[in-house]
Amino acid sequence: MNSLTLTWFAAGSTQTTPEVLTAAQRAAKVINTNPWLAIFYMVVALAGIATFLSVLGMVLIYVERKLAGRFQCRLGPTRVGPFGMLQTIADTIKLLTKEDITPNQADKALHLIAPFFALLATVLMMIIIPFSPTIQVIDLNIGVVFVAAVSTFGVFGVLLGGWASNNKWSLLGGMRSGAQIISYDLSIALALITVVLFSGSLSLTEIIKSQQEGWWIWRAPVVGFLSFFLFLIASVAELNRTPFDMPEGESELTGGFSTEYSGLRFSFFFLAEFLNMFVASALAVTLFLGGWMPFYIGNFTSFNAVMGFFPPIVWFAVKTIGVMYFIIWIRWTFPRLRIDQLMHLEWKIMLPLGFANLLVGSVLVLLKLYFFPF
């Protein structure tokens, strides 16, 4: 148990979180004395992120298959390994050993690099997510701006993949994805701005610290919950997951933008979807659910002491798993929308609602009407 956890356990929610340096801040101090360590630090950080993402992707794929089986009253993977736990590893080996085919008339250069763009946005956002007070690669003071800038970067991979494949179904899927992601990114931006208004900071770490007295999902009356709801729905749309999986649309477009991909490059697109689900869930937790902050209730010292007993990384993991479960639940519950319904939902319902929510939030912040729930 670290010193931060001990402090929380003893003090409860009435105490201010002690100043704890993140991994990035500690590394910065060392790097200032020896610049050559900067290269070593970045190599280690990228290697750690790559390892984490690889393992996380396989775990998420297995978990979703199992949950999908339960939702549909079946068992899911059972044959490869105990409880089917090695099924994802077997599928990974299959994809890595399959022949990687490039269509003759395709733009080979763009066809090659498109899958890397799909994963690039995931890696860029992973480096700024604060998993705990001490686990964060980079603490940017403009973290929210960074998120807004790179969150749609993955659309370049989808657009390039659809265009470069020289396949009409791929092109249609890529164009659908571009329109969909750009549209729903507006609702995400409005939700981000609302959180920035209440927290008074663009840093993700500072936004978490601003929730010491209550998470923004309820501390901002109505506005916080509505912002969380809009952010979550828009994130599912940006992930191209059911009921918003228009870019793939197997029943209409064969396989959408990934129709002409196979082997390793197809696995990059497939992996990006699951990793982006984790990133979206982690951001929702960071912005609206207190991040790694424990769940405290006012001056209930005994209850707060029990909550503070668990390390911050555990709180972050539990909250993120809960949000991911909800996203998976949505996928296996609702049918796919038509493209006109999808655009109607964003431009005529969610976007006006987001602007109205932002306006109300601005008034609450101006008049300082947000409150402590207990």
- Give the integer Cα–Cα distance in Å for 358 and 363: 9
Contacts of 353 (CB under 8 A, 6+ apart): 226, 230
Query: What value does the mean pLDDT of the chain take?
Result: 84
The confidence band for 229, taking pLDDT boundaries of 50, 70 and 90, is very high
Q: What is the pLDDT at residue 286?
A: 95
**What stretches of 332-372 show up as alpha helix (H) in DSSP?**
339-344, 351-367
- Residue 16 sits at φ, ψ, to 5 deg, of -80, 140
Q: Is residue 126 part of a domain?
A: yes
Q: Is residue 29 part of a domain?
A: yes
Q: Is residue 222 part of a domain?
A: yes
**The pLDDT of residue 10 is above 70:** no
Of all residues in the chain, the percent with pLDDT exceeding 90 is: 37
- Provide the number of structural domains found in the chain: 1
3-state secondary structure 227-295: HHHHHHHHHHHHCCCCCCCCCCCHHHHCCHHHCCCCHHHHHHHHHHHHHHHHHHHHHHHHHHCCCCCCC
The confidence band for 5, taking pLDDT boundaries of 50, 70 and 90, is very low
pLDDT in tens, 158-204: 888 888 888 888 888 888 888 888 899 999 999 999 999 999 999 99
Element (H, E) at 328: helix 312-331
Q: What is the pLDDT at residue 136?
A: 85
- Name residue, tokens 């998120």: 147
The confidence band for 15, taking pLDDT boundaries of 50, 70 and 90, is very low
Distance between the two ends of the chain, CA-based, in angstroms? 28
pLDDT in tens, 292-349: 999 887 778 888 888 888 999 999 999 999 999 999 999 889 888 888 899 999 999 9
Domain span at residue 299 reads: 3-367
Amino acid found at 327? I
**The pLDDT of residue 103 is above 90:** no
Q: Is residue 315 part of a domain?
A: yes
Q: What is the pLDDT at residue 241?
A: 85
- Name residue, tokens 């982690």: 282
Contacts of 177 (CB under 8 A, 6+ apart): 155, 158, 159, 162, 240, 246, 247, 256, 257
pLDDT in tens, 232-248: 999 999 888 888 887 66
Q: Is residue 373 part of a domain?
A: no
Q: Is residue 298 part of a domain?
A: yes
Q: What is the pLDDT at residue 18?
A: 44
Q: Is residue 372 part of a domain?
A: no
DSSP 12: G
Q: Is residue 374 part of a domain?
A: no
